[in-house]
Structure 1
């Protein structure tokens, strides 16, 4: 019995220091992880708040990079604290990095694309842009993707590599946008009469202030082409970006009402051939 008790005591004498060391290392690791993740979250919040005052997209991107960087440092520090050699950690990370780079080369190219977008700054938050068939407002640039809010309420998420390599049209680069409306009328139409009607329509829109921020005096109104069966008229007006859609709608409605009153008809065949067009262009 005495021998059994001595064996138990010897066991505890041997294992207790080891358990104490392990417990202390685990406690340190837990504290390091807790503090590290807290600092990562705090750094992300503070960085975003500080930089977003000047540029929200840049603040969002840098805050994500800072957060991930702190998390990586925290994990390496934690592993080093529990006895894993730093050299081995770096070697392991290098090996994993190569494997990840080969397996996720598209994702890494998206990160590089995000950096390119941040450095070159082709747009900022809430800018309206066109990329291929997609047109909408910029919501955010993240590490891997760019988010664009579409006019119909949907959200387009594009890989940064695609955005960086695409032709980007920034519709918000200028505070004004040129509205161009093209329509056709018969050859026997009085050109001066049409021009006067359109000038009156623009002047009335300006006076009633249903649509603001444009100058009717600087509008272009004239014949832009002669088709085999009709005259092609063009109206070009510069207007504030935020008023462009409402202005075009008002212009078309009021012009149609004025033409009806003046008994100016748009040829039915031109409607069937889709030659009546309302085009919005940017310069």
Structure 2
């Protein structure tokens, strides 16, 4: 067994190296810790400065700056402990090709997010229709866009799906056109029906008369005269609410004038035969 003095000698020979590495490791940890909070601080300041004009753009740019700051901070910390960062960057560049192929869908969403930010088909708060969904835009992130649907549900959609889809932005207009089909009995007076519907339009504040309207007989159905109604409603009243108010008013005024709205009927005839 080695003597105690020999063990102490080897320990003191190794200790300066361990002490040096410990100091470097401590510096790296300090760089990572300080760098993390500095990155958050920069992200917050950038977001606050840009959000005064555009909240979505502020959120997008601040996320990119934060991620880039974290990457720079990690490379700086590794360089402090003696790791050759040039070699790491070269390896990451080579591995990046393989990673990009494996994450092509995610990277496509990032590229699509940049396109959405540049082209600006919508902004925060806009009401859009997309793939059968109608919702208000809350935020565009690096990978996803968040929509608050009309029924209160929260939709998280990949940016790549939105960028290549047909989007209807309904925010640019303060009105929305509604088209309805109204069927009445064949014995009904055509001019009377048209005048009654126009009377409803004129009496409903939800209908925007400045945009014009159309009421006309467009189909001779199997059991009804079918009128097409096209009119504009003000979004401030809500589309569903305005349509409901108009339909209720039309039903009441037709009833008051004894105009029938046909419905499916089944006539049963019973033939009584003599017992003989």
Whether 2:175 is the aligned partner of 1:183: answer no
Shift of 1:224: 4.5
Instruction: State the alpha-carbon separation in 1 of the partners of residues 44 and 221 from structure 2.
Output: 65
Contact 1:222–1:235, Cα closer than 8 Å, also in 2: yes
The whole-number CA distance in structure 1 between the counterparts of 2:208 and 2:108 is: 46
Q: Which residue of 1 aligns with 2:246?
A: 251
The residue number in structure 2 matching 1:194 is 193
Normalised to the residue count of structure 1, the TM-score between the two structures is: 0.85
CA distance in 2, matches of 1:39, 1:135: 39
Whether the 8 Å CA contact 1:40–1:71 is kept in 2: the answer is yes
Q: Which runs of 5+ in 1 are unaligned?
A: 271-283
- Report the Cα offset of residue 27 of structure 1: 1.2
8 A contact 2:124–2:138 mirrored in 1: yes
Distance 1:8 1:242 in 2: 85
User: Matches of residues 119-138 of structure 1 in structure 2 within 5 Å?
Assistant: 119-138=118-137
1:217 offset after TM fit, Å? 5.7
Q: Bigger relative contact order, structure 1 or 2, given CA contacts below 8 A and separation 6+?
A: 1
Change (3 A) 1:65 1:122: same
Q: 1:232 aligns with which of 226, 232, 236?
A: 226
Q: Match of 2:144?
A: 145
Q: Deviations over 1:21-46 (max 9, x none)?
A: 11211111111111111122122222
Confirm whether residue 263 of structure 1 aligns to residue 258 of structure 2: yes
Q: Secondary structure at the match of 2:204?
A: helix
Q: Find the counterpart in structure 2 of residue 278 from structure 1.
A: none
Q: Secondary structure at the match of 1:84?
A: coil
Distance 1:240 1:40, change over 3 A: farther
Rate the CA distance shift 1:224–1:96 in 2: closer, same or farther, 3 A.
Answer: farther
TM-score when normalising by structure 2 = 0.87
